[in-house]
Each structure stands twice: as structure tokens, then as C-alpha cells.
């Protein structure tokens, strides 16, 4: 969990709660101004409640007919609200979330965070790492029919079938995390085959499942690497320590002598040493990775024990939805 984002989500809920309480008070005031009868009924109901509370504190049994008397007053209030042309529940507590009544927690015995807080948190996390806020790039919205149903040479599958296999591989990986073997995943293929879409779909699934994802572009990586190299500081802990790190479009960044390779190796090596999962998309093939980043980096990304290497094949579909 990113504590800062969780805090924001909780503050937003508190703000909702405050606004709803205000609405409830305003309604009450409005009704009392319009109808002295309801005002007196509300006072009666409060007297009954207070009387009961006092009774409990003084260990007295509540009057037997109390529930009926309460119900009678409530019925009376509802009837009069209706006569004023207002909904019967106009004076009921107002809240956005019926599960937790905007308290943020559910459960009497085991208190846990309500789904509404998790939703607010996840929306913030998606925004913070650059995913579309509504999370529409998902496995559910992945459309393999964008790929041609024509056979790929030497594969025995059509483009569309091959993409379905890749999609399933990614979804399985995201569903099995953190028990997936191998730990890392590399999507390799030309531009326009939907690698970024798949990365986003994996990120969305992991976030939905409650995991923390950091998604950065290869350019952003290089920026961090450059700072780490020249300022001689340890590589930013948010990259090396991220629960799941997704590095998009490796190979598209400029190559900086001494910097790129050393820092990339440090990053991958340190994350593998700490047993943290990394997902990379790249426009480079295994061979091209080796040439550009040296053998020792390529082997970390292509060795079966370290990474699931998924080669995407097919034609550019960037004119379609999946860029
Ligand atoms: Zn809730």
C-alpha cells in the first residue's frame, strides 16, 4: 500500500461523510421550518431515545411498548413528509456507501477496510502510475480480433491465436502473482502489437488484487539512472524496492555510455536478488537485447529460470484501439 494515497482516499471519504452530514442537517432544518408538527414529532422521538439511554445507564428495563411507540412516531413523521411532497426517508441518515455508511470500515468482529476505500485508493494508484483512471485497459477489454486471422509462418497459429496465447500468459501471471514462476515477465515485439495495453491490463489486475505496482517508461528509467550515476547516489529505492516494477518500452530510450547498462543491470540484479517481480516490455528481440545491453543483462531477462519471455508476432494494430 502507498500510505500517502491511502491517506488521501481516507480523507476523501471523511469529506464525503462531512458533506452528507451537512445535507442531513440542512434537510432537518428545512423540514422543521416547514412543519412544526414534524418538529414536535422529532422532539418526541428524541425524548424516547434519550429516555431509553438513561434507563440503560441506570440499569432499568426499557418500557415494553417502547418499540411500538417509536414506530408510531416514525410512521407519523413519514406520513407528514409525504404530505409535504417529500420522500419518506428524507430525514434518514445520508451516506454514499451503504456498506460502511461512509465510515470506511465494515465488520463488527474483524474490522476491515470497506470496498469503497479500496476503490478510491486504487483509482489514485492508477492515476499516480499513469494508468487511465477508469482502468479500461484490462484483460476484459482486450480485443484480439484486432489481429488478423491469418497464419503466422513457422508457428502453426494465426496472429489472432498467437495473441490470445500471449494474453492468457499475461493474465495467468497477474492472477498467480506473487506465486508465479518464473518471477519476471518480458513482452518482446515490434511497436503497435499492444504491449503497453497488456502491461496496463496486468497492472490493473494486480492493483485490483491489492498489490502495489510502479509503472515507468524507459525514458523515466534513464532519467533516474542518470541521476543515480552522476550524483553517485544509490539507485532510487522506489525503483529497486517497488513491489512490482513495470518498465515500458525498453530499448526506446537513448543509450548513455556507462550509465544505461550499469544502472539497468544494478536494477534488475538487485530486484532479482530481493525476489521482487519486474515486468518489461521491449521492442527488441532476445538477440537485440544481447547486442544493446550485453549478455549479462540479456540472460537475466531471457533465462527461463528468471523470466517468462513472451515474443509477440503480428502486424501493427495501432490504427485500432490497442496502441
Ligand atoms: Zn464503504
pLDDT at 231: 77
pLDDT at 322: 46
pLDDT at 17: 95
Judge if 189 and 283 occupy the same domain: yes
Judge if 17 and 135 occupy the same domain: no
Judge if 141 and 277 occupy the same domain: yes
pLDDT at 303: 93
Segments forming the whole domain that contains residue 51 = 3-115
Burial of 67 (0-12, 13-18, 19+ CB in 10 A): exposed
pLDDT at 319: 53
**Which portions of the chain are predicted below pLDDT 50?**
320-323
Residues with CB under 5 A from ligand 1 (ion): 97, 99-100, 114, 116
- Report CA(209)–ligand 1 centroid distance (Å): 18
Q: How many domains does the chain have?
A: 2
- Report CA(11)–ligand 1 centroid distance (Å): 13
Radius of gyration of the chain from its Cα atoms, rounded to whole angstroms: 29
Q: What is the pTM of this model?
A: 0.79
Judge if 157 and 261 occupy the same domain: yes
pLDDT at 235: 57
Judge if 93 and 137 occupy the same domain: no
- Report CA(217)–ligand 1 centroid distance (Å): 34
What DSSP state is assigned to residue 92?
A: S
pLDDT at 321: 44
For the domain that residue 196 is a member of, what is the CATH number?
A: 3.40.50.300
Amino acid at each position: 500500500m502507498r500510505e500517502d494515497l491511502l491517506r488521501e482516499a481516507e480523507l476523501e471519504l471523511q469529506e464525503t461523510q462531512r458533506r452528507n452530514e451537512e445535507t442531513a442537517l440542512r434537510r432537518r432544518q428545512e423540514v422543521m421550518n416547514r412543519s412544526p408538527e414534524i418538529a414536535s414529532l422529532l422532539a418526541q422521538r428524541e425524548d424516547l431515545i434519550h429516555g431509553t439511554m438513561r434507563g440503560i445507564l441506570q440499569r432499568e428495563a426499557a418500557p415494553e411498548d417502547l418499540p411500538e411507540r417509536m414506530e408510531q412516531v416514525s410512521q407519523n413523521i413519514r406520513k407528514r413528509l409525504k404530505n409535504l411532497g417529500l420522500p419518506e426517508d428524507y430525514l434518514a441518515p445520508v451516506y454514499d456507501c451503504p456498506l460502511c455508511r461512509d465510515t470506511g470500515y465494515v465488520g463488527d468482529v474483524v474490522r476491515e477496510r470497506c470496498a469503497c476505500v479500496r476503490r478510491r485508493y486504487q483509482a489514485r494508484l492508477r492515476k499516480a502510475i499513469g494508468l487511465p483512471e477508469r482502468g479500461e485497459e484490462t484483460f476484459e477489454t482486450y480485443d484480439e480480433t484486432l489481429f488478423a486471422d491469418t497464419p503466422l509462418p513457422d508457428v502453426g497459429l494465426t496472429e489472432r491465436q498467437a495473441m490470445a496465447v500471449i494474453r492468457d500468459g499475461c493474465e495467468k501471471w497477474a492472477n498467480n502473482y506473487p506465486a508465479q514462476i518464473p518471477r519476471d515477465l518480458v513482452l518482446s515485439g515490434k511497436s503497435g502489437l499492444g504491449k503497453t495495453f497488456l502491461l496496463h491490463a496486468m497492472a490493473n489486475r494486480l492493483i485490483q488484487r491489492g498489490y502495489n505496482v510502479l509503472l515507468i517508461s524507459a525514458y523515466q528509467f534513464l532519467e533516474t539512472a542518470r541521476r543515480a550515476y552522476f550524483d553517485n547516489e544509490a539507485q532510487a529505492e522506489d525503483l529497486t524496492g517497488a513491489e512490482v516494477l513495470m518498465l515500458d518500452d525498453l530499448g526506446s530510450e537513448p543509450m548513455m555510455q556507462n550509465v544505461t547498462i550499469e544502472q539497468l543491470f544494478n536494477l534488475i540484479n538487485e530486484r532479482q536478488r530481493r525476489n521482487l517481480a519486474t515486468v518489461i516490455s521491449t521492442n527488441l528481440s532476445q538477440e537485440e537485447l544481447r547486442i544493446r545491453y550485453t549478455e549479462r543483462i540479456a540472460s537475466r531477462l531471457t533465462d527461463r529460470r528468471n523470466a517468462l519471455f513472451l515474443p509477440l508476432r503480428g502486424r501493427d494494430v495501432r490504427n485500432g484501439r490497442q496502441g
